[in-house]
Structure 1
Amino acid sequence: MTTLLERITVEPATPANSCVIWLHGLGDSGAGFAPVVPVLGLPSDHSIRFVFPHAPEQAVTINGGYIMRSWYDIKSMDLHDRADINGVLTSEIAVKALINEQIESGISAQNIVLAGFSQGGVMSLFTGLRFEQKLAGIMALSCYLPAGEALPEGLSEANSDTPILQNHGEQDEVVPLFAGKMAHDALIKAGYSSKWLTYPMAHSVIPAQLSHIGQWLTDKLGKA
């Protein structure tokens, strides 16, 4: 049995009928993104639950083996060998458990958006593309595909036409812009519906971007 990840949950003012599961980046925690909810500009009567899980703590090779919250080990800066696939698969199990927890609580998979930033974005893409039930959307911020330009194996037909939102900073010094664009090109080539937007920022998020994300989430979940 999978132990559910600890998380911060932000409930809407009205009973939740949809959910965003938002995965943080390397060395962060769910607390890093939980404050964005009021900044998204969602309608005051929205019914979206936000779940911000904490990644497990583990040693990260590129940071000298320092133990920090991480969805997987990063052994190299080479984009084709950056993500430790065994770690990705382990975290996928944990993220799927969170999705299934929401489904069991009464929220349909089609009313769930899987979102993530940096490492969390890698996990949202990987897990969302392989998830067996159709999701409302996949959001991948400032991230890349685990295998560079190759899509994951075991893609799910259920999410073959799920809307994908990809954002990236034009001055990103951690995950180069071309890495995100490489992922986008691979998705488009495979027939996925992915929206690509860049912003004048580094490896971060900015208010204008969060406003656009809020509009996208309202469009995908506002009628849930």
Structure 2
Amino acid sequence: MSDTLDALELETRPSPQWSVIWLHGLGADGHDFAPIVPELVRPHWPALRFVFPHAPVRAITINNGVRMRGWYDIASFDFADRADRTGVLESVAQVEALIEREQARGIPPERILLAGFSQGGAITLAAGLRRQVPLAGLIGLSTYLPDMAHAADHLVAGAQRQPLFMAHGQGDPVIPIVHAQQSAQALQSLGFDIEWHAYPMAHQVCAEEIDALAAWLDRRFAAAA
């Protein structure tokens, strides 16, 4: 598919049975979360393909228009109107193209997980709301739901069947935890089953969080076995 984003791919064993599409944060690229794979994966899990796409390079308004990899422009520090909606929808479409590619390679939606950190997590949540055929699960780390006030308008029937893991740093200076908590509450009110964790950290990932995510993934794999 010509419009599919370039991505780094890692397979835990040959002939993957599941795919994990993992979206990086602002200014990073697909290599950013590749080192998490050996820390996260458990020996008894099915064979996985991790797909770490590189976001397009774009001008970021709050960074004085400097161009960097980002899933959308950030035009304001106000979280109610922080995310460029056109950019969000473009990135959601690009994520859908990645999901379609995994399906073409033999991985059905019920064995595809969508994960993201920070900006990538925002796209994960936005895509999850709009997902017509549920995925195996959604993972939002140190993130928030864009355009939260209109979440119900974007919700597609059946999307709530996707289990959701969210984790955040209690001292996050980039996305204060209150915005993540409000996002989790909004999604829960729409019917999503959310596992929520908060840790004494900043805008980052910690070992305890990786362990909690591994336990959550373990349940996803076991339920599908």
Question: Could you give the per-residue CA deviations for residues 146-197 of structure 1, whole angstroms, max 9, x where no partner exists?
Answer: 1144416332223222100111000100000000000011011122111111
**Structural mapping, 1:140-179, within 5 Å:** 140-151=140-151, 153-179=153-179
Aligned residue number for residue 134 of structure 2: 134
Deviation of residue 41 (structure 1)? 4.1
- TM-score, normalised relative to structure 2: 0.95
Letter in structure 2 aligned against 1:207: A
- RMSD value over aligned CA atoms? 1.5
Letter in structure 1 aligned against 2:129: L
Change (3 A) 1:165 1:212: same
Aligned residue number for residue 99 of structure 1: 99
Change (3 A) 1:2 1:150: farther
Letter in structure 2 aligned against 1:108: P
**Structural mapping, 1:1-224, within 5 Å:** 3-43=3-43, 46-151=46-151, 153-222=153-222, 223=224
Question: Could you give the per-residue CA deviations for residues 120-162 of structure 1, whole angstroms, max 9, x where no partner exists?
Answer: 0000000122112111001111111111444163322232221
SS in structure 2 opposite 1:58? strand
Q: Does the Cα contact within 8 Å between 1:126 and 1:152 map onto a contact in 2? A: no
Number of corresponding residues: 224
CA distance in 2, matches of 1:174, 1:108: 35
**Which 5+ residue runs of structure 2 have no aligned equivalent?**
none
CA distance in 2, matches of 1:210, 1:9: 20
SS in structure 2 opposite 1:140? strand
SS in structure 2 opposite 1:183? helix
Letter in structure 1 aligned against 2:7: R
Deviation of residue 115 (structure 1)? 0.5
Between 1:35-44 and 1:105-114, the stretch displaced more is 35-44
Between 1:23-32 and 1:43-52, the stretch displaced more is 43-52
Q: Does the Cα contact within 8 Å between 1:13 and 1:45 map onto a contact in 2? A: no
Following TM superposition, the consecutive aligned residue runs of length 4 or more in structure 1 with deviations greater than 4 angstroms are none
Letter in structure 1 aligned against 2:136: A
CA distance in 1, matches of 2:161, 2:79: 26
Letter in structure 2 aligned against 1:16: P
Change (3 A) 1:48 1:152: farther
Q: Does the Cα contact within 8 Å between 2:17 and 2:46 map onto a contact in 1? A: no
CA distance in 2, matches of 1:25, 1:175: 12
**Which 5+ residue runs of structure 1 have no aligned equivalent?**
none
Letter in structure 1 aligned against 2:206: I
Letter in structure 1 aligned against 2:8: I
SS in structure 2 opposite 1:74? coil
